[in-house]
Amino acid sequence: MKSTLMLGGVVAALALTTPAIAQPRGPHGNPDANGDGVVTVSEINASIAARFAEADRNNDGAITQAEFEAELAERADRMKERAEERGRKGPRRELTPERRERMAARMFERADTDGDGQIILAEMEEKALERFASVDTNGDGQIDADERKAQRAKMRDRMKDMRERRADRSN
């Protein structure tokens, strides 16, 4: 039961700190800017920069925890709206604010690699490139449809694991 309501928030949080390599479509979800079906490092960097600018609300070049939380909340709302537009049911219940805050704090910590309490673009890029490399299994600097598919399958497994672990815990 708990699994479905957590999922929206988890996906939103993942989407904020990691490039959406595996996401096929969506206003912020598709880094394949020129639509040729492969995603390059420069497309990822452009997508990260756009996301960073959006989250850095006061444009001072750093994302604070408050900015991060605000962005996360907005994203979760947007995802819910989009799901509803497509006729799917959103999470049955909202994440409680406490829960969302806790999750945001964890995500923030992970993204703030030097632990100075703010996320700068370089930190996001670094994470993005790490992830890019892990998805680009043949190492040609591009992520093609097959690699994307493999990544999506991996994500699905991860979500499933998370759900199962939650189910175990609530038993």
In DSSP terms, 64 is beta-bridged to 118
Give the three-class secondary structure for 63: strand
Whole-number minimum distance, CB 112 to Ca ion, in Å?
A: 4
Binding site for Ca ion (CB under 5 A): 56, 58, 60, 62, 112, 114, 116, 136, 138, 140, 142
6 or 63, CB closer to Ca ion? 63
Instruction: Read off the amino acid at residue 62.
Output: A
* Number of other residues whose CB lies within 10 A of the CB of residue 79: 20
Whole-number minimum distance, CB 145 to Ca ion, in Å?
A: 10
Q: What is the distance between the alpha carbons of residues 93 and 164, in angstroms, rounded to a whole number? A: 19
65 or 142, CB closer to Ca ion? 142
Return the structure tokens found at 29. Answer: 């979800």
58 or 134, CB closer to Ca ion? 58
Whole-number minimum distance, CB 6 to Ca ion, in Å?
A: 27
| Residues 111, 20 contacting (CB under 8 angstroms) | no
15 or 39, CB closer to Ca ion? 39
For 4, phi and psi rounded to 5 degrees?
A: -65, -35
Element (H, E) at 72: helix 65-85
Whole-number minimum distance, CB 128 to Ca ion, in Å?
A: 15
